[in-house]
Each structure stands twice: as C-alpha cells, then as structure tokens.
A = this chain, B = another copy of it.
Amino acid sequence: MENKGSLQEVRPDEIEKRSFEIISREIGSVELDPLEAPIIKRAIHTSADFDYLENLVFSPGAAGLAMEAVLGGATIVTDTNMAFSGINKRAVERLGCKVVCFMADEDVRSAAKLNGTTRAAASMKKAASIEGPLIFAIGNAPTALAALYDMIAVGMLHPALIIGVPVGFVNVVESKELIMKTDVPYIVAKGRKGGSNIAAAICNAILYQCGGRDE
C-alpha cells in the first residue's frame, strides 16, 4: 500500500475557497444574481450536484430579504435535527439570530397525536408564535410546507422567508408549488431534490453573506 501522498496538500481553510473556484469555473458563463449566486453555489458545494443551478428558484428579492431578516435577528426554524445540526451556530450567535427545531419536543408529539397531524406540521404551528422575523428551513417534510401554507392563507403567519427544499417522491413537488403560490419570500428547490443538507447550506450561505463568519 502507498501512503496518502496521492492527496494534495491543501490547508483546511483553503479547501472551501478552492472548491468554490471549481464550482464557479464549471458553472461557466451562466449569469447569476449576485445575492443568489453564493446560495446556489453553496447548495452545489454541499451536494456536488449541479442540478441546483437550475432547480433553485427565488421569489423576487428573496435573497436580499433573507439577509434583512438575519440582520434583524431572525429565528431559523428547521423541520429536522439534521438541518439544525448543519447550521453554523457560531454564525447564528454572532449575528444575534437563533435556530430552533421542535420536532423532538414532547408538546409537539402530543399536539400531533391530538390533532391527527404530523409532528412536522405541529412543530410549524408551535414556531408560528415566535416573535420577530422567522425563516423556515424545510428540508424534509412536505407536511411542514402544507402547514405553513395553511397558516399563511388564513393570515396567521407571515414569515420573512421560507426555504422550501424537502426531498422526495410523494407530495414533495406539490408542497413546493403551494409555497410558490403565496406572497411570502421563498427559496425553493423545484422538483424532487433537496434535503436537510441543502436547507442547512442555504441558511449558512445567507448567514455568511451577512458577515456571520470568522474569516
């Protein structure tokens, strides 16, 4: 066996920079909105899937409105502990934001049972009463998006941003289309693709654009 000499010597902090250079080069001449570009590139960075160049759609001004929400101390609400884990907590703290996931909460479990909904839907309802700007980052549950839609439709909720990127094969496409019918700012991965990793990557991209990072 040879040793690990086949790996390039790259300082850890250089790896991300070089990765984004490769992504930019491979995107080539596709013109991207300057506020949307870092979000799209970070989704590609976290998946190595260039489909996100086509899939990610932004409501008018969504990327700028997302930054405003973060700079206004937004609370980010996720529908999985995995997305929660993937969001850079130091960036969140530095910017005076919060990130929460209520999926494992006992009151959410009982509310879901009582009302015959999913825990994802019940956790969205719990989050709706949080004060200040709300960013919903949904990488898993179509029912979370449906619950958000219902609350928006009756005027109970007007979030600063919905990141609608659940992944999957049943009700996923439809739930994203629901969100795109609202007047709420959104970033949606059209089609089946998405995931908790994509939801976290989009949040991190927005946090970093707002100066949430060390470097």
Contacts and interface: CB of A to CB of B under 8 A. Distances in A.
A8 B170 contact: yes
A7 B82 contact: no
A110 interface: no
A169 B47 CA distance: 10
A123 interface: no
Interface in A1-52: 1-4, 6-8, 10, 12, 15, 18-19, 22-23, 45-49, 51
A40 to B, nearest CB: 15
Contacts of A158: none
A20 B48 CA distance: 23
A137 interface: no
A55 B45 CA distance: 18
B167 A4 contact: no
Given A82-B86, A153-B3, A195-B47, A118 B12 contact: yes
Nearest to A194: B48
A143 B1 CA distance: 17
Among A19, A149, A168, A192, the one with the most B-chain Cβ atoms within 10 Å of its Cβ is: A168
A150 interface: yes
Contact of A169 (B3, B18, B85, B194): B18
Contacts of A12: 118, 143
A58 to B, nearest CB: 20
Interface stretch (A61-69, A92-100, A175-183): A175-183
Contact of A170 (B10, B170, B191): B10
A171 B1 CA distance: 18
A108 interface: no
Given A7-B178, A15-B168, A45-B168, 10 more contacts: A1-B153, A4-B149, A4-B150, A6-B177, A10-B171, A12-B118, A22-B170, A47-B49, A48-B193, A82-B200
15 contacts: A1-B149, A1-B152, A7-B171, A7-B174, A8-B171, A15-B170, A47-B49, A47-B193, A48-B168, A48-B193, A82-B85, A82-B86, A86-B196, A195-B197, A196-B197
